[in-house]
A and B are shown apart, each in its own frame.
Chain A
């Protein structure tokens, strides 16, 4: 699905290449993500999905290729720079800050906006205090929506795996990104929690964030995503709705042995 004419794609990936040693993890990968959509990124193991996410988010640098966020080129920059431009990503393993409380975890994910300096800590305490209260309110609201209020003041390291995944969504929402890349948010998650997370994801999209999800759970992808991109052997081998993709011979073959796309 090509972006509607006149609407800048939220994310443009053009001819992305990355090799590790002699192995080509990503080769000539090209796709666009329409704004305000939930786009799924699927493919068999080894297709290069996580590498693509790592390249786009800035965790690793591409050998070749262009990545555009709302028209602005972002390839080759660091993870934190890319995040500050409005592109936030999550990880396959929950990466909470264990010794900080749940609330602190959420607040610490909000955009820094140049407030996090020693100078301001000492000389702008009143302004910082005001900002803190606003952030605390926002964080409390997000935790409420994700039903995490009971553990708001517990150290994040003591949460269960499912709670940590919910916390991740609170952090993402707090960061108010333009686009978020979710790396297998449902891995190992029970159906009830998956429901919760699905709601959180649509909630993100409804609040104006473009969502890209790397997932293996194709039923979830079918239910939630407007648009699906299929990767195989480091490149894009199909794009469209799930129905369209099921008719795509190349896609079906890529998934052979991994379960057919209608699983």
Chain B
């Protein structure tokens, strides 16, 4: 029984971490990134190819690298690579695109990534994906399986706490305030000397790094990762978490993650009618979140745990969402 909670708890901690990463892009930066899961997946893959032994040792399995390095290297390496990829993609996508067009590009980019990774087997073993990932620090600790699960849970919680503190410090800093001002009205932010492009890009990269770290933890939690774990639904669920928990602060992100992504599915599994159909569980969860999003947007767009009395800037009627706002401000009458 305890092991069940340990396992769920680990999943909750990792998911909360991912939600924090998405919150950096959406809550702080105001960017509707629908392709977030690309970076999570890439984090898992990069960690995998850094920590797994060389592919040549197993017949019929192909992937790059395979350096058999310790977990720490895999973990940090995942964050670095996803950070760099975020920089590359963000520097292009964030230059001119806003709102829904930016969102569409992120979906397209993620599906391109998904297709390439699935089809180009030499990269990450295609559809079969990576498996057999080691257990971090196992060689040092020599714990039994149950004790190790508890240890890994603790490790994830510690990492979550550290990232939480770092992101909160960033959010409450002058940098965080500047990013928020860009989110609220980028033309006004520029009118007071801030460079919207660079601030947006930094928030985007920050989110990417956290995604990569989360992906790495995910990889060692399940000890495998393949394209089947990777669907458009995943990002959608994270947004559900943010919407429920509120995007104004990191508490909301974590609370939302726990409620929507962990507690809710567990509860639905208790309903006997859905036990039989293997599709039913995730389908019902998705439908429920979709309805929840519609309801929350209708009645409480700020989420269930808003910080101040404020409302998250992105979903109101202010028109700083397309760059036509620039032109509208520009071609005045007088």
Contact = CB atoms under 8 A, between A and B. Distances in A.
Interface string B318-334: 10000000100111111
Given A95-B185, A120-B175, A108 B192 contact: yes
Interface residues of B, number: 42
Nearest to B195: A80
Q: Which 8 pairs, one residue from A and one from B, show the smallest C-beta to C-beta distance?
A: A50-B332, A121-B173, A97-B184, A95-B188, A80-B190, A83-B193, A49-B334, A79-B190
Contacts of B311: 98-99, 155, 157
B177 interface: yes
B187 interface: yes
B136 interface: no
Interface in A3-36: 20, 25
Given A99-B312, A157-B311, A50 B333 contact: yes
B169 A122 contact: yes
A132 interface: yes
B129 interface: no
A86 B316 CA distance: 32
Given A50-B334, A78-B190, A128 B174 contact: yes
Contacts of A217: none
Given A84-B193, A131-B174, 9 more contacts: A80-B193, A83-B191, A89-B191, A100-B177, A116-B175, A118-B202, A120-B175, A121-B174, A128-B174
A54 B177 contact: no
Contact of B181 (A48, A50, A89, A100): A100
A103 to B, nearest CB: 11
Interface in B182-219: 184-185, 187-196, 199, 202, 206
Interface in A57-102: 57, 59-60, 78-80, 83-84, 88-92, 95-101
B334 A214 contact: yes
B184 A155 contact: no
A109 B177 CA distance: 10
A100 B188 CA distance: 13
A59 B181 contact: no
B329 A59 contact: yes
A88 B191 CA distance: 6
B334 A46 contact: yes
B174 A57 contact: no
